Amino acid sequence: MGTNHSSQKTAPVRDFIDAADVRGIYLYRKDGYLLSYLRIYPYNLNLKGRDERKAETDRLSAAFKDDRKDFTYFTLPREIDLDKYKSFLKERHSQEMNLGRRHLLAVMLQQCACLTTSGENFEHQHFIKIWKKSANRAAAEEELKERINEFRVRYENAGIHCEVLPEPEIIKLCNLFGNSLQAGFESVDESSLYSPIMQL
């Protein structure tokens, strides 16, 4: 945890099974570390020209040039629930009178069924984790808050939408590792968010 480098890997299970508390934008570990998380939303560079892609990549790289310690980048897969989408397509197909459109809807339904049965209906969620350990908890919180917002601004200046994870979303991350049901991000009952983390 105390290594001074960034790495692209899955989220360490220890971060969540050693959690002592979650408050605001902070996860407090039993060993005294405080952690904050930034979620980075999908961004398709391929929609831009080659020169523009290079310019944006260079600009983002330059923003991180002098900040290379105590953060990690990780991804988590999330299964996409296609049931509502399939129901929508079926309804449109049953109501559509134009043969060409009916055929396109039938193809879309077939593709949707293939994704579901092949197990490829996943998207990857991207996160940056930063941490701090200090005897002065208030000072550590202030430093983490400032730093995680600096990360957010760097991405937003590059046109990439991101979000500092609030308390409910951090607890959902904990549920992935502390809940035997492996609860999904969007299927967690808000009324039971606190029970798994308190049992750790």
Query: CA dist 58 to 8, 138, 155, 177, Å?
Result: 19, 35, 12, 35
Going by pLDDT thresholds of 50, 70 and 90, the confidence category of residue 25 is very high
Q: Closest by alpha carbon to 127, among 30, 19, 6, 29? A: 6
Same domain, 133 and 102: no
- Is position 4 within any domain? no
The predicted model gives 21-42 an average pLDDT of 90
The answer to the question of residue 193 being in a domain is no
The pLDDT, as a whole number, for residue 8 is 40
Judge whether 94 lies within some domain.
yes
Structure tokens at 9: 């890997």
Under DSSP, the state recorded for 11 is P
Together in a domain, 70 and 128: yes
Q: Give yes or no: residues 24 and 110 share one domain.
A: no
**Does residue 197 fall inside a structural domain?**
no
What's the pTM value of the predicted model, to 2 decimals? Answer: 0.63
Domain boundary among 91, 118, 145: 118
Q: Are residues 172 and 104 in the same domain?
A: no
Q: pLDDT confidence of 121, banded at 50, 70, 90?
A: low
Q: Are residues 56 and 130 located together in one domain of the fold?
A: yes
First CA to last CA across the chain, in angstroms? 19
Using DSSP's 3-state secondary structure scheme, residue 33 falls into strand
How sure is the predictor about 16, in pLDDT bands with cuts at 50, 70 and 90? low
Q: Answer yes or no: is 171 within a domain.
A: yes
Instruction: Name the domain boundary from 92, 118, 144.
Output: 118
Predicted pLDDT at 178 = 53
Over residues 167-176, the pLDDT tens digits come to: 999 888 777 6
Q: Are residues 64 and 34 in the same domain?
A: yes
Lowest mean pLDDT among 29-38, 102-111, 177-186: 177-186
- Both 103 and 174 in one domain: the answer is no
Q: What is the rounded distance in angstroms from the CA atom of residue 171 to the CA atom of residue 194?
A: 7
Same domain, yes or no: 92 and 30: no
Asked if residue 183 is part of any domain, the answer here is yes
Q: Where are the beta strands (DSSP E) in the chain?
A: 19-23, 26-29, 33-40, 71-79, 122-133, 162-164
- Do 131 and 171 sit in the same domain of this protein? yes
**Which amino acid, 33?**
Y
Range of the domain at 94: 83-118
For the CA atoms of the chain, what is the radius of gyration? Answer: 21
Tell me the pLDDT band of 159, cut-offs 50, 70 and 90.
confident
Bridge partners, residue 124, by sequence = 77
| Selected residue with higher pLDDT from 118 and 64 | 64
pLDDT at 85: 81
Are 18 and 67 in the same domain? yes
Lowest mean pLDDT among 67-71, 154-158, 177-181: 177-181
Higher confidence at residue 28 or residue 64? 28
Same domain for 167 and 72, yes or no, is yes
Total domains in the fold of the chain: 2
In this structure, are 176 and 159 located in the same domain? yes
Give the pLDDT of residue 187: 39
- The model's confidence at residue 44, banded by pLDDT at 50, 70 and 90, is confident
